[in-house]
Amino acid sequence: MQIEVLADPDAVARRAAALIAEEARTAVAERRRFVMAVSGGRTPWIMLRMLAGQEHVPWSDIHVFQVDERIAPQGDADRNLTHLRATLLERAPLPPAQVYPMPVEDIDLSTAAKRYATKLREIAGSPPRLDLVHLGLGPDGHTASLVPGDAVLGITDMTVALTGEYQGRRRMTLTYPALNDARHILWVVTGSDKARILPRLQASDRGIPAGRVRQNNALVLADLAAAKSPRRGA
């Protein structure tokens, strides 16, 4: 795992957008398509606005999946898709048919998760291999919706699964098999509340969910606040 430390969240977002655009151009040149999965978060929404407005991207060959999504109604502010639409989908000439929202509004969520896994295989291969997965890091060590203590952490035979309730919502999430088979993993980590947990990610500490994500071909973009080692006893 490599780490780059930048001044602030805007600098992290700018660097992340540039890296995604570069990976997209390379993938399209080599394989004629670029398949990525994106997570939520304040800095990532800035990243996606910059990707849409400031970078050269071969949009007609881009496919976008979600890393995770809350079980909530369409348009709800808790939905990652709500922000994904506002920051990327409404700003970039991305073909609507090449955006794959997690079907969290379905009544039968188990069947919906299986259908999403099928679409993932259809676009990214079987087993699916995403070109790039963007991940965040929670203060409790979660990533995607792989949260401490949830049964989803032990899933090895599915690429998409449902979680228990976390922070008031159940979620649909990509699992470790989907994340760990990606060609590139891009971590976006900002804020002082991540300073205690970032060293555990770097150490592949399996005591936190994020520590179980593979580290080869992984890059962490962190701001100064997140990368600052906490004082002992603080």
Residue 11, CA distances (Å) to 1, 15, 51, 227 in order: 20, 6, 13, 14
> How crowded is residue 118: how many other Cβ atoms within 10 Å of its Cβ?
13
Span 91-120, pLDDT tens digits? 999 999 999 999 999 999 999 999 999 999
Q: What pLDDT sits at residue 228?
A: 87
Overall average pLDDT of the 145-152 stretch:
96
Q: Is 162 helix (H, G, I), strand (E, B) or coil?
A: strand
Q: What is the pLDDT of residue 231?
A: 47
Question: For residue 26, what are the domain limits?
Answer: 2-170+182-193+200-213
234: confidence class by pLDDT, cuts 50, 70, 90: very low
Kindly state whether residue 73 falls inside one of the protein's structural domains.
yes
Q: What is the CATH number of the domain that holds 35?
A: 3.40.50.1360
Whole-angstrom Cα distance, residue 184 to residue 161? 21
Provide the mean pLDDT of the chain.
94
Query: Is residue 218 included in any domain, yes or no?
Result: no
In this prediction, residues 74-80 reach a mean pLDDT of 90
Domain for residue 233, yes or no? no
Q: Is 223 inside a domain boundary?
A: no
Please give the Cα distance from 101 to 64 (Å, whole number): 8
Instruction: Give the residue with greater pLDDT, 232 vs 42.
Output: 42
- Band the pLDDT of 13: cuts 50, 70, 90: very high
Is residue 234 one of the residues assigned to a domain? Answer: no
User: Is residue 225 included in any domain, yes or no?
Assistant: no
**Whether residue 65 has pLDDT greater than 70:** yes
41 vs 204, more confident: 204
Does 221 reside within a domain? no
Query: Is 130 part of any domain?
Result: yes
Phi, psi at 157, each rounded to 5°: -115, 10
Whole-number pLDDT of residue 211: 97
Whole-number pLDDT of residue 229:
63
pLDDT band at 219 (very low <50, low <70, confident <90, very high): very high
CB 23 within 8 A of CB 219: no
Total count of domains within the chain = 1
* Helix then strand then coil, % of the chain, to nearest 5: 40, 20, 40
Do 34 and 98 contact (CB within 8 A), yes or no? no
**Termini Cα distance of the chain:** 27
Beta carbons within 8 Å of 162's beta carbon, 6+ residues apart: 109, 110, 113, 152, 170, 171, 172, 173
CA 143/CA 199 separation, integer angstroms: 15
Beta strands in the chain (DSSP E): 2-6, 34-38, 62-66, 68-70, 99-100, 132-135, 160-162, 171-174, 184-189, 218-223
What is the CA 114 to chain-centroid distance, rounded?
19
